[in-house]
Amino acid sequence: MEVVLSRCEFNSTDVNDIEYIYSHYYNKLEYVRFSSSLGLYVGYTAYGVKQAEGWNKDPSVLNRRRAQKETYCQHNIEIDYSTALSKSAKPYAKLHSETPPTGGHPAMLVCSVYDFYPKMIKVSWHRDGKEVTTDVTSTDELADGDWYYQIHSHLEYTPRSGEKISCVVDHVSLDKPLVNVWDPSMPESERNKIAIGASGLILGLILSLAGFIYYKSKTRGRPVQTSSDQFRPVQTSLNQFRPVQTSSDQSKPVQTSLNQFRRCFWISR
């Protein structure tokens, strides 16, 4: 099956930065191409070479293809720049440490950059102000499927006391490079543990305070008990009463002396 494909490669809307390419394919193999940078056809197979020789001898064919650079490419590129290509989204970056997979260095840093558009981006590592080019690996720009991209860069290194390591991100959406400095004072996992512990402590204090307030509200207004020394009337005779001191336990019987009992008996008689 034969397929004809037209495409435009460009860096700006300037016609000098545009290249128009018109290719013929047969069974997915390109056999002849016209390039605006050459202004001619070039063959890649025996049949393609023969076709190119014939088309290059026809001025009308060449003039029609050469005009496509402006009529087809430049026109559509201006539309693209006025819509999607003029838009951009600023990236944000995160730094974290991981265990190196090879064991060549005792430490490895990962700089993950997210949510940027367009695709072109540069991520570099700097150590004490100087760019690091060795022991650095990076993924390609990975599409998120929502017009945004992400990329991950790795630096294997041997830590030194007092050094400053940073991940620097350059992107068209940024007015100046985005610099993320690594803080080795405490691993991220330890910072997370401290944050969780502090949250638990604060929650415990809040619950304790709430319990104390509830207890005070319940005990407020409860009658206050006086001293254990109380008095109540006790019958001493058939028609007489006198106060007798009792203990706090009101259920205990009150005892009088034998003489008091006898006196009450004779009075009653």
Mean pLDDT of the residues in the chain: 82
Q: Is the pLDDT of residue 259 over 70?
A: no
Residue 75 domain flag: yes
Number of separate domains in the chain = 4
Residue 110 domain flag: yes
CATH number, domain with residue 101: 2.60.40.10
The residue-averaged pLDDT of 32-44 equals 96
- The DSSP line for 179-216 is EEE--TTS-HHHHHHHHHHHHHHHHHHHHHHHHHHHHH
Residue 222 domain flag: no
Specify the pLDDT at position 67: 94
Specify the pLDDT at position 209: 85
Same domain, 31 and 17: yes
Same domain, 244 and 262: yes
Residue 173 domain flag: yes
Sequence-distant contacts of 180-183: CB under 8 A, at least 24 apart: 180/93, 180/94, 180/95, 180/111, 182/95, 182/109
Range of the domain at 137: 92-185
Same domain, 64 and 100: no
Q: Is the pLDDT of residue 258 over 90?
A: no
Same domain, 99 and 178: yes
Q: Which of 37-51, 152-166, 231-245 has the lowest mean pLDDT?
A: 231-245
Per-residue pLDDT tens digits for 153-187: 999 999 888 899 999 999 999 999 999 999 887 55
Whether the upstream peptide bond of residue 223 has omega within 30° of 0, thus cis, is: no
Stated length of the chain: 269
Specify the pLDDT at position 83: 79
Specify the pLDDT at position 103: 67
Same domain, 28 and 70: yes
Q: Is the pLDDT of residue 261 over 90?
A: no
Residue type, 118: P
Residue 87 domain flag: no
